[in-house]
Amino acid sequence: MKQVTQAEQLKQLIAQARSEGKRIAFIPTMGALHAGHLSLVDQVRTDENFVVASIFVNPLQFNDPSDYENYPQSLGVDARLLNDRGVDLLFLPEPETIYPESPNLIGPEDIGSNLGEVLEGEFRPGHFQGVLTVVSRLFDLVTPDIAVFGKKDAQQLALIRQMVAHQLSSGRRMPLKIIAGETVRDEHGLALSSRNARLDSDQIEIARTINTALSSCEGKSASVAKSQALQMLHPDIKVDYLEIVDSESFQPVDDDYSGITLALFAGYVGDVRLIDNREISIKGS
Ligand code: PAF
């Protein structure tokens, strides 16, 4: 696996891979990698693909400065994991490569989306502007044909799809396929997250009630599912939201709705903010 920090080196290696007939498959990350990230690599590691991963802890998407300061970092281990998993190129950009003097900020409203106003958008003001801005910039630099994002960040994934569709329709971007990766969980159902590294063993137990609560929503009406799920969360969890929503609009579904929805959670275990979601089938009341 090659490692580069400069845009120019990246460009050369991408051009070389393309000249060999390869497609560019891209996995952007903020490091502190776990099996969830590595499963994203597995989805695109084929002979036809030149697999590029990036690690950049993006200051712009942290609405809480202490979350940014405490974000786990493990570059040496991450690089070894990516190499062993078959990544061809690791891009480690400097902040000035990603953010030139006046970066072109892209928020949900700039791509005609209202997803920035609800759930994560509401609880983390500016977060999605940071995410879309960095992802768009990384896409400009890496020029991928395929990019992979985890389903655990469901609202992020939906917004990135919307941004790519918007940029394609305005001729701002070449065709790019966004692939979704399944959430990877521990043996008790806790969704793997870089932030889990900041939980002690008692907090891990507490955090495991998130999946129990979300899974319990299956087969109930939206209101019953929500109120029972809230009861199943460990009392020490400080909930930002637990909602049963339509998986495109991210708006709560009506109580008479039957069908597939997303049960979404965000909240704090200690001072660590976790999110999770499960696709569940709801039965209207
Ligand atoms: O999901 C993440 O790790 C980040 O939000 C991303 C997509 C790498 C952008 O910084």
pLDDT number for residue 99: 94
Nearest CA owner, ligand 1 atom 5:
131
Query: Ligand 1 pocket test: which of 58, 68, 82, 106 has the largest number of ligand atoms within 8 Å of its C-beta?
Result: 58
Nearest CA owner, ligand 1 atom 6:
29
Residue 160 CA, closest ligand 1 atom number: 7
pLDDT number for residue 203: 98
Residues with CB under 6 Å of ligand 1 are 28-30, 58, 61, 131, 134-135, 153, 156
Print pLDDT tens along the chain (285 aa).
999 999 999 999 999 999 999 999 999 999 999 999 999 999 999 999 999 999 999 999 999 999 999 999 999 999 999 999 999 999 999 999 999 888 899 999 999 999 999 999 999 999 999 999 999 999 999 999 999 999 999 999 999 999 999 999 999 999 999 999 999 999 999 999 999 999 999 999 999 999 999 999 999 999 999 999 999 999 999 999 999 999 999 999 999 999 999 999 999 999 999 999 999 999 998
Nearest CA owner, ligand 1 atom 1:
29
Edge to edge, what strands does the sheet with 259-269 contain? Answer: 238-245, 259-269, 272-282
Q: Is the dihedral of CA 28, 192, 85, 182 positive or negative?
A: negative
pLDDT number for residue 251: 98
Nearest CA owner, ligand 1 atom 3:
29
Q: Which residue has the tokens 């990246």?
A: 10
Ligand 1 centroid from CA 224, angstroms: 33
Cα gap 264→151, rounded to integer Å: 11
Query: Ligand 1 pocket test: which of 38, 131, 274 has the largest number of ligand atoms within 8 Å of its C-beta?
Result: 131
Decide if 234 is catalytic. Answer: no
Residue 61 CA, closest ligand 1 atom number: 10
Domain 194-282, architecture per CATH = 2-Layer Sandwich (3.30)
> What number does CATH give the domain 2-181?
3.40.50.620
Residue 57 CA, closest ligand 1 atom number: 10
- pTM across the whole model: 0.97
Which residue, among 196, 180, 200, has the nearest Cα to 32 in the 3D structure? 196
Helices (H), 153-259: 154-169, 201-215, 222-232
Query: Ligand 1 pocket test: which of 34, 106, 135 has the largest number of ligand atoms within 8 Å of its C-beta?
Result: 135
Nearest CA owner, ligand 1 atom 2:
29
Per the residue annotation, which of 37, 127, 166, 188 is the catalytic one?
A: 37
Helices (H), the chain: 7-19, 35-44, 65-70, 75-85, 95-98, 120-123, 127-142, 154-169, 201-215, 222-232
Domain regions of the chain by residue span: 2-181, 194-282
Q: Are residues 74 and 118 in contact, defined by beta-carbon separation less than 8 angstroms? A: no
pLDDT number for residue 33: 98
pLDDT number for residue 102: 86
